[in-house]
Amino acid sequence: MKFTLGWLKQHLDTDADIDTVAEALTRIGLEVEGIENPGEKLSDFIVARVLEAKPHPDADKLQVLSVDAGGEPQQVVCGAPNARTGLIGVFGPPGAYVPGSDFTLKVAAIRGVTSNGMMCSVRELELGDSHDGIIELSEDALGAVGTPYPEFAGLNDPVIDIAITPNRQDCMGVRGVARDLAAAGLGTLKPLDQVYAEFGGTAPVEGEGDGPDIAIEDQEGCPAFYAQRVSGVANGEAPEWMKRRLTAIGQRPISALVDITNFVMIDLGRPLHVYDLAKLDGGLVARKAKPGESVVALNEKAYTLDETMTVIADSSAVHDIGGIMGGEHSGVADTTSDVLIECAYFTPEAIAKTGQKLNLTSDARQRFERGVDPAFLDEGLAIATRLVTSLCGGSASGITRAGNPPAEPRSVAFKPEMARTLGGIDLDTATQTDILTRLGFEISADGTQAIVPTWRRDVTGPADLVEEVVRIHGIDNVPSQPLPRPAGVAQPTATWEQKLERKLRRAAATRGFHEAITWSFISESDAAIFGGGNWTLANPISEDMKVMRPSLLPGLLTAAQRNLAHSEDSVRLFELGRRYIGDTEHPTLTLVMAGDAAPRSWRTGKARSFDGYDAKEAALALLEAAGAPVANLLVMGDAGDAWHPGRSATLRLGPKNVLATFGVLHPRVLKALDLDGPVAAVEIFLDAIPEKRSTGFLRPAYTPAQLQPVTRDFAFLVDADMTADTLIRAVKGADKKAITDARLFDVFTGAGVAEGKKSLAIEITLQPGDKSFTDEELKAIADKVVAAAAKQGATLRG
């Protein structure tokens, strides 16, 4: 939420500067996300007066102005239709940056006449959308000629942007923020009547005659609906002070009637809506939408409604998606003369569900779904009506009040001792009572109950009172207490799973992978690519974060795509997180390799892309680091629909226990996630890795072999579809004591090899024990190797 320092001080009587306010906001839980001064970008612009305006000698639509900006008159070429002698406006000298047009002014010749800067429009200074001519200031600005424009216009008012947690609905208005700061001792909260005194206070404007024709049929979705009619209004521009405040926080001024509702919503956290009475057909009713009904909202988009949604409608059509956004048809315009002001209370849960279904967000929805003050309907309507009649004229009718807001007093047990036992601070009861009273709570006469203010829907128990006391007293004032620690050397507390994750993180980083942390929530469409998600959030942050991920790949692939789009040639990412499948979560290490595995060079020519062998190498290395029995793993197919058939596989310990999936991802997956080229990946399932039995803290003694190893090469003819892993496994098992390693070093098909066959060449490492091998022993081992290969259908190649 954004507001200016001056706007805050409208409600808070304080001399605190911006730094003090920012520090206090963060200290009481309203985290400051940013502070900016909108006047800084306009510091070079000056209030100036046109001394003379005469036609350009070589252009019919241009004029040559002599401009007084506080020094020597400046010659300026101007094409604005309202430029004239005596006009007081805003001058941009050479060197000034024009934010609305994104260029820096310089001395330039325009049709042969030198122009030293420019006279500026509202749009060019990003103060509004008007671009009909240059800014015209009133005669009151004559004495300010030569003054920096931000200083004259009051634009040097810092804008504060704070993060509001979902439970703090009371701080969705500037007054709520001011109340919190006053409770924290930063000033005094001004009475609301004093704040709005210039508009006639906050007492209800009863007006004359009957109130508008309104009713409620959906009592559950809209418990209360208040309205008042104002006739004979003139909907022009809002006053400068209101437009300036709205503009500073990013709200575009539209018209006085619309700006009033936006101002009251941001100032007091009370959303309102104004209808053009001439566009309504009879009275208004708050009801459930009919299935298939539609409405074109103020954002110019059409929405199809269903029977679960609360709407405001007349006898002909829907005019408002209750509590979220008004309809375009009944919105006020420049010609509006009679209006109906709506001030209603909508049930937060209903608003949230409707907004999610329609994927529609608005400032009103943000406030209603958190819960606005149900006791502020009369005052909110009175303030809006007084602003309308003060700024737009007209006469008010009586007030119609349909339904009753849920504003019954609530109380929770007040237990001062909990501040010490739960909050860790030792404050006396009087201090705690004072803090709660400043926040709007009332403590009962016997001191056992706290009556909760109607604007604090989030306070439901004694622990919430402790939170308020600690928050305002200051979390930084909670004394630090070290946890008790037994004497002696501490015993290790990390579990086997924690140690495994630490080890794998280090191993992945050592191999050149960068760790990423992605969201645990993904969209339904991304989840469907990887088998669909079992856990769907009922209240997601957005539709793109609705499903708990069944795989870590969508998040990593999106991160890889973003890196490649920023001209990264080679992307190696890993993440250690949880997959959510069935009713449980599964710890998983996932790696993604995209782009170039090796850059182009004079030796290799073009760059090499990552392939399945890169993925297999990484999978085996990390499994070995995890302590998995790599020598016993089987390479088997059936990696899944998300993987490229024939270029992916699984690593299993036995036929059913899948430890890892590796290979190249399916092109369909890459296309869905906007990735080009092959992408290799690995998924290691940590909960499938068998836990090693504890053998104490000491490692076995290092005992290197005393004799040199011996290598022998064998070439076998096998069926073309036989995997090398099958043959290597058989060969290594021929003599487990003597054969310490076997690896493939050549694959050949072609001349001399029958069709349907291939030649696999394997290097075998033999390690002698206490004496060297004799020729007879080597021949015996070779015979065992050939025999073991023969059992797999392999024959020794001649």
Q: Binding site residues, as ranges? A: 458, 464, 467-468
CB-based contact 381:399 (threshold 8 Å): yes
Angle between helices 174-183 and 256-268 (to 10 degrees): 30
Written as six digits, the tokens of 461 are 């128990």
Count CB-CB contacts under 10 A for residue 156. Answer: 16
Alpha helices per DSSP H over 154-276: 174-183, 192-195, 240-248, 256-268
Written as six digits, the tokens of 105 are 């002014």
Q: Transcribe 248-309 into DSSP letters.
A: HTTPPP--HHHHHHHHHHHHHS---EEEEGGG--S-EEEEEPPTT-EEEBTTS-EEE--TTS
CB-based contact 175:359 (threshold 8 Å): no
Alpha helices per DSSP H over 516-660: 524-529, 553-565, 612-625
Written as six digits, the tokens of 51 are 């001394």
Residues written for the chain = 798
Q: Give the Cα separation of 624 and 610 in Å (integer).
A: 21
The distance in angstroms from the start CA to the end CA of the chain is 81
Residues flagged as binding site for Mg(2+) = 458, 464, 467-468
Written as six digits, the tokens of 206 are 């009863």
b/e per residue 541-577 (b: at least 16 CB within 10 A)? eeeeebbbbbbbbbbbbbbbbebbeeeeebbbbbbbb
CB-based contact 689:500 (threshold 8 Å): yes
β-bridge mates for residue 89, sequence order = 48
Q: What are phi and psi of 263, to 5 degrees?
A: -65, -45
β-bridge mates for residue 658, sequence order = 652
Q: Give the Cα separation of 469 and 465 in Å (integer).
A: 6
Nearest CA-CA partner of 610 in 674, 670, 558, 522: 670
Q: Give the Cα separation of 333 and 730 in Å (integer).
A: 85
Q: Give the Cα separation of 286 and 351 in Å (integer).
A: 13
